[in-house]
C-alpha cells in the first residue's frame, strides 16, 4: 500500500508529467531565487492528516488505514497580469486532480480559491519578492491507504 512519501511522489509525478506552462516549486525542495523579472510559477505543499481505521483484514498487520491528505498549490502571476490569469492557471492544476485515481492516491475535491495581492502572504512590514505577484490557490482533498 501507499506511504505518505509515495503519495507525494504520485502527486508530484502527476503535476510534472502534464506539461503545465509554468514552473512548479515544491515544499521542502531547495529553491532557486525568484527571477529578477517576475514570471508565473506555482508553489505546491502536501499535508497528510491523521489516519483512521477503514477496515479490519485478517488480524494484526492486515488492517486497512485510510490516510486523508490535502494538496495546497499557490499559483503566482506577475503584478499587472491580474487575478483572472492566476485563477485560470490554478484551474489547470485543479483539473488534473478532479476525480483522479491511480494505484497510490484517490482524489475527490479540487477547488480553485481566488487569492489576491501577494503582499497578503507576507509578514507585515517585511519586504518580499512575493509582493510583485498576484496569487490564486488550489486545494485538493485526497486519501491514500495503508495496510498495517
pLDDT in tens, 75-104: 999 998 988 999 999 999 999 999 999 999
pLDDT at site 56: 84
pLDDT score of 126: 64
Q: Which grid coordinates are listed for 137?
A: 490557490
- Residue 97: phi and psi, rounded to 5, are -115, -10
pLDDT for the residue numbered 23: 94
Q: How far apart are CA 87 and CA 135, in angstroms?
A: 8
pLDDT at site 123: 64
Question: For residue 61, what pLDDT is reported?
Answer: 76
Cα-based distances in Å from 33 to 2, 81, 111, 128: 33, 21, 28, 11
Contact 87, 70 (CB under 8 A): no
Nearest-CA neighbor of 141 among 1, 76, 46?
Answer: 46
Per-residue model confidence (pLDDT) at position 59: 72
In the predicted model, residues of the chain with pLDDT beneath 70 are 123-127
- The secondary element (H helix, E strand) that includes residue 26 is strand 24-26
CA distance 83 to 26: 22
Amino acid at each position: 500500500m501507499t506511504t505518505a512519501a509515495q503519495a507525494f511522489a504520485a502527486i508530484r509525478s502527476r503535476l510534472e508529467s502534464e506539461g503545465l506552462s509554468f514552473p512548479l516549486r515544491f515544499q521542502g525542495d531547495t529553491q532557486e531565487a525568484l527571477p529578477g523579472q517576475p514570471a508565473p510559477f506555482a508553489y505546491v505543499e502536501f499535508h497528510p492528516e491523521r489516519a483512521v481505521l477503514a477496515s479490519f483484514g485478517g488480524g494484526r498487520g492486515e488492517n486497512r488505514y485510510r490516510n486523508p491528505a490535502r494538496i495546497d498549490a499557490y499559483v503566482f502571476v506577475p503584478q499587472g497580469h491580474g487575478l483572472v490569469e492566476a485563477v485560470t492557471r490554478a484551474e489547470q492544476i485543479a483539473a488534473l486532480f478532479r476525480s483522479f485515481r491511480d494505484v497510490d492516491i484517490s482524489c475527490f475535491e479540487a477547488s480553485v480559491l481566488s487569492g489576491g495581492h501577494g503582499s497578503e502572504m507576507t509578514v507585515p512590514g517585511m519586504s518580499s519578492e512575493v509582493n510583485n505577484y498576484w496569487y490564486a490557490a488550489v486545494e485538493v482533498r485526497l486519501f491514500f491507504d495503508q495496510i498495517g
